[in-house]
Chains A and B, each alone.
Chain A
Amino acid sequence: MKNPYSEHLHMMNRRHFLSKTSLGIGGMALGSLLGCSAPSKEETLTGSATKSLPVTHFAPKAKRVIYLFQSGGPSQIELFDYKPLLKKMRGQNLPESVRQGQRLTGMTSGQSSFPLAPSLFSFKQHGQSGAWVSDLMPHTAKVADELCFIKSMHTEAINHDPAITFFQTGSQQAGRPSIGSWLSYGLGSMNENLPMFSVLLSRGSQRPQPIYSRLWGNGFLASQHQGVQFRSGKDRVLYLQNPEGVSAASRRQVLDVLAQMNDMRLDDFGDPEIRSRISQYEMAYKMQTSVPEVTDLSSEPDEIFELYGEDARKPGTYAANCLLARRMAERDVKFVQLYHMGWDQHTDLPRNITLQCKDTDRASAALVTDLKRRGLLDDTLVIWGGEFGRTNFSQGTLTDTNYGRDHHPRCFTIWMAGGGIKPGITYGETDDFSYNITRNPVHVHDFQATLLHQMGIDHERLTFKHQGRRYRLTDVHGHVVKDILA
C-alpha cells in the first residue's frame, strides 16, 4: 500500500504549484491536460514552469460568452418556428404518428385530447437571410441577419430543473460544474479585478419557476470557479462593502494578516480550498472598487437607454442586465450568465408571452447591435435560449383567444450571434407540426461542445478527475456543430 502521508504531500505540492502560478489554475491545469508533464517539485522551486503560457486547444474564435438564458421554456411556435399547417389543423387531435409515444408531464398526461393550437401571432420573413420571426419580437427581427437560429435543439428532460441543470452542467442531476465554471477552470481570467463567471438574474411579470444558485455552482472544481451573482439592490454583490466604521486601510491590514495565517495553514495542511479562499478574499477586495464601477450606469448616454429601452435604468430588469452584460464584456469578463425567468406559459400563453417579449425583445436585440458597433460581437458569443420548447397542442381548453402549452423537449429554437458563428442562417428543421426534428438535430451536448469549441477548447479534452473518473461538461457525448461555424 502507498503511504498516505507521502501521497498527501505529493498532492499538496502539485496543487500548491498550480495555484501559485500567476496565470490562474485553469490555464495551468489545461496546460497539464494537454500532455505537458505534471509539474514536478523541481520546477516549482526554480519557477521555470511559470514561464509557460496559457494555451487553448484551438485558436479561439470567441473570447467571451454572454448567455441570455430564457428560463421556463419559451414557445418556439409563437416566436420562431413558423408552422402554417397548425392553423389548418387547428383543434384537431395531435396524431399519434407524430407524437410517437412522447412522454408527457403530469400537467397534460391526464388530458383526454391534445388539440393542436396554432400561434395567435403572425410571422414574417426578415432581413436578407429571410429568417422567420414572429411579430412578438420586432427588435430581434431587425437584427435577424446577425443571428444564427437553431431550430432543431432537443433535450432529454421534460421538467424545468433537470432541463436547466442539463443545459448548464451537462447532467440532469445536480452537482456537476456549470459551463462558466468549466471555462474558468480551463481558461483562467484576463481580468484580475472582476470574477470571470458572473451571473445576473431577472424575472418577468408572471410568477416564475425559481432558479437555484447551484446552477452556477462549481461542482467538484475548486470553489473559486463558481459564478458570482450580481444583484439589483444597494449591495450589488452581497457582503462586499466594508461595514460602517471600517476603513479601507484597516480592511487591507486585516486581509494581509488573514492571508498570512491562511498561508501558514496551507503549508501545514495543503487543502487547495485554502488557496481558493485566499484568492477569493483578494478578488473580493478588488471588487470593492471594480463592482461599483462596472455596475454604475450613470456614464451611459441617453441613446443607450433608447436602444436598450427605458427599463435599462431600473436595476434588476432584463434590459439593465443586458446593458450590464455589455459593460462586463467590455472589461473582458469571460462568461456572463443571464437568467430571465417567466417563460413557463402553461395557461394564458398569448397574454403572458406578449408581456415576456416586451420585457426581453428590445434589450436582446440592443445587446447584439451595441456589441456589433463597438467591434465586440466579432469575438463575443451571444446565446439566447431556454431549456426546452413547448407543445404544439393546448394545455387546457383551446379557445379563439386563449390557450396554454406544456413542456416539449423534442424540438425548440435558440439563437446565437457573434463569436465565430455564421450570421444570418437558420440551421435545422422541424416537421410541419413543430413536434419532431426532420433535419440536423442539435443535442444539448452538441450545443455545449460547440460553445467550448468557440472558446478554443476541445470538449473531449477538458476534463477533471473526481471520484475515480474523469468528468467532462459533455460527459461522453457531444459533437461540435461545424455547419454553423463561420
Chain B
Amino acid sequence: MENQVSDFVLFIGRFHPLVVHLPIGFLILAVILGISSKFETFKGAYHLLDLTLWLGALSAAMACVMGYMLSLEGGYNTDTVFLHQWGGIALAILAFALLAYRKKAKIRPLVQRIGFVVLLLLLLYTGHLGGNLTHGSSYLFQYAPNPVRKMAGFPPKINRVHKEITHIDSALVFEDIITPILDARCITCHNNDKIKGDLLLTSFESVMKGGESGDAIIPGNSAESELFKRITLPHDHEDFMPPEGKAPLSKEQIGFMEWWIDSGAKTNATLADLSASGEIRDKLEKYLKIGKYNTILNNPIDPINPSVVDDLRASGFNLASLSENLNYLEVSAKIGQKISMNQLEKLTKAKSHIVHLDLKNSGITDESLTIINTLPNLIRLRLDQNPITDDGIRKLTDLSNLEYLNLSFTNISNASLALVKDYKNLKQVYHYKTDVSGTEE
C-alpha cells in the first residue's frame, strides 16, 4: 500500500509534527483570552480573540490534512491513529464553530466559556495521543515516580540497573544484555503504538517474528539478519538504523548483538550456556561492570579539601586529579625527593582519595608500608627502587583493590609474591632486579 502513495504526499505529511504546534499554541492562547475576558485586567487583550481563534482553526485544519498524509505512511498503531485523527478533526470543527457562534449578534458568555473548556480538553487529549504516536506510549511516564505511573495505568518501573548480576556466568544474554540495548536504541519506533516497518522489538517473541522486510534475526547468522544488517550499514545509508538524528548503537553494543545472533539467538541462555570467552567476555564484564573490574572509580567522591593539597605538596608530593570527572587522586613523590615517615603519614589525610601512588626511589623502608596499608583505595602502587624487603610486603594486607604493583629494584623475594597472590584484583606485579628467583617479569 505504501507504494501507491506518492512521495510528494509523504513529503508534505512529514511536516505534520512541525505544523501541529501552531494550532496548539494559537488555540491555547485563544482559550486563555476567551476565559480570562471575565477579568477586567485582560479586557484589553480581548479583541485579539477572534484573530487567534481564526489562526488556530485554520492551522488545525492544515494539521489535519498533513496528519492524514503522514498516516498514509503506515507503521503507526491504527487504533491510536483513529482516535488522534478524529480528535484533530473535531478540534478544527469546534474551533470554526466557536468562530461562527461569535458572529451571532447575541453571545451567551456561559456557552462560549463551555466551548473553550471543551476545546482545551480536546486539544490536550489529541495532543497527547499524537505524542504517544511519535515517542511511544510509555515515553511520557518513563521516568515518572511509581505512584504517578500507577495513576496513569502503567506498571511500576522495572529498574534493570538494580537487578544485580552477581556473577557474569549467570547473566541472561537476551534479558540482561540485548533487551537493554533494544530499549535504549530501538524501542521508540518499534513499540506497540509505533510499529515502524511492522517490526516490534519489545519482547523476545516479537523480535524473532520480524517485520515487513523479513526476519529481523536469523539465529546463527548475523550477516543475513535484517536487524543486524541495518545497524551495521554505513551511517549515511538510507536504510541505516536507528535513522538519522538518533544515537546509533556503539561498537561494543553491535559486537554483543552479533555475538548473540551468531551463538543462536537463544531466549534464556546464560553467558555460561553460551560459553562466552576471551574478548567478548572481557567486554561484557566491563559493560555490565561486574567481575574483575574494579568498581571504586564508579563511586563518586567529593573533591579533596584544598588545605590537604597544600599540606601534601609541602611534604614533597605531586598531586593530580585523576580526571575532570573523577576527584580521586594520583600522588607521586617529587623526583629525587626522599620521603620520611612523617611526610608519608600526611597521605592518610587523603586516604580515601588516593588511588594511584608513586613512591619510586624515595627512600622508603619496610616500616613505612604500614602507612601505605591504610590507603584502602589504592589501585596502582609504585614502590620500585626502594630498600624494601619481604617484611614490608607482609604489612600490606588491606590493599584489596590493588591492580598494579611495582616492586622492581627492591630486596623482596619469592615470599612477597606468594603474599600478594591473594589480592583478587592484582593483575600486574613487577619484580625486576629483586631477589625473586625463577623467571623475570
Give the interface of A toward B (CB within 8 A). Answer: 22, 27, 34, 48, 51-60, 190-194, 331-332, 372-375, 378, 456, 482-483
Contacts and interface: CB of A to CB of B under 8 A. Distances in A.
Nearest to B428: A378
Nearest to B335: A191
A303 to B, nearest CB: 10
Contacts of B430: 373-375
Nearest to B250: A482
Nearest to A286: B336
Contacts of B382: 375
B309 A372 contact: no
A192 B306 contact: no
Nearest to B404: A378
Interface stretch (B198-206, B261-269, B322-330): B322-330
Nearest to B308: A51
Contacts of A456: 323
Interface string B395-414: 00000000010101000000
A53 B321 contact: yes
B382 to A, nearest CB: 7
A48 B306 contact: yes
Given A375-B382, A378-B428, A192 B323 contact: no
B133 to A, nearest CB: 37
B40 interface: no
Contacts of B323: 55-60, 456
A378 B307 CA distance: 32
A191 B358 CA distance: 13
B339 to A, nearest CB: 15
A51 B309 CA distance: 7
B249 to A, nearest CB: 14
Contact of B332 (A22, A53, A190): A190
A456 B404 CA distance: 19
Contacts of A374: 384, 406, 408, 430, 432
Nearest to B406: A375
A331 B322 CA distance: 20
Contacts of A482: 251
Contacts of A378: 404, 428
Contacts of B297: 59
B415 interface: no
Given A373-B440, A482-B251, A34 B428 contact: no
Interface of B: 251, 297, 304, 306-307, 309-310, 313, 318-324, 326, 329, 332, 334-336, 382, 384, 404, 406, 408, 428, 430, 432, 440-441
Given A48-B306, A190-B335, A373-B441, A54 B321 contact: yes
B324 A34 contact: yes
B297 to A, nearest CB: 8
Given A56-B323, A374-B384, A375-B382, A193 B335 contact: yes
A369 B232 CA distance: 39
Q: Which 8 A-B pairs have the closest CB atoms?
A: A375-B430, A51-B306, A375-B406, A59-B323, A373-B432, A191-B335, A53-B321, A59-B322
Contacts of A190: 318, 332, 335
Nearest to A58: B323
Contacts of B336: 193
A375 B320 contact: no
Most B C-beta atoms less than 10 A away, residue of A27, A53, A194, A372: A53
Contacts of A194: 335
Contacts of B304: 53
Nearest to A333: B335
B197 to A, nearest CB: 30
5 contacts: A48-B306, A55-B321, A59-B323, A191-B335, A375-B384
A422 to B, nearest CB: 10
Q: By DSSP majority rule, is chain A's interface helix, strand, loop, or mixed?
A: loop
Given A190-B335, A483-B251, A53 B309 contact: yes
Contacts of A54: 319-321
B151 to A, nearest CB: 41
Nearest to B307: A51
A344 B73 CA distance: 62
Contact of A53 (B251, B320, B408): B320
B440 A57 contact: no
A58 B336 CA distance: 28
B180 to A, nearest CB: 21
Nearest to B282: A486
B248 to A, nearest CB: 14
A27 B321 CA distance: 11
B22 to A, nearest CB: 38
Contacts of A375: 382, 384, 404, 406, 408, 428, 430, 432
Contact of A59 (B310, B319, B326, B406): B326
Contacts of B432: 373-375
Contacts of A55: 320-321, 323-324
A191 B334 CA distance: 7
Nearest to A49: B306
B118 to A, nearest CB: 50
A401 B319 CA distance: 58
Given A374-B430, A482-B251, 6 more contacts: A48-B306, A55-B320, A55-B324, A194-B335, A373-B408, A374-B406
Nearest to B326: A59
Contacts of B406: 374-375
A53 B304 CA distance: 10
Contacts of B326: 59
Contact of A56 (B306, B324, B441): B324
Nearest to B429: A375
A57 B322 CA distance: 9
A324 B413 CA distance: 29
Nearest to A486: B282
A217 B241 CA distance: 46
A205 to B, nearest CB: 34
Contacts of A51: 306-307, 309-310
Contacts of A53: 304, 309, 319-321, 329
A259 to B, nearest CB: 21
Nearest to A60: B323
A233 to B, nearest CB: 26
Nearest to A53: B321
A113 to B, nearest CB: 37
B324 A331 contact: no
A372 B441 contact: yes
A57 B306 contact: no
A378 B251 CA distance: 25
A372 B441 CA distance: 8
A125 B329 CA distance: 43
Nearest to B336: A193
Contacts of A60: 323
A109 to B, nearest CB: 35
Contacts of A34: 324
Nearest to A22: B313
Contacts of A331: 335
B334 A192 contact: yes
A234 to B, nearest CB: 25
A373 B384 CA distance: 12
A5 B187 CA distance: 61
Contacts of B332: 190, 332
Contacts of A372: 441
Nearest to A372: B441
B390 to A, nearest CB: 18
A192 B408 contact: no
B292 to A, nearest CB: 14
Contacts of A193: 335-336
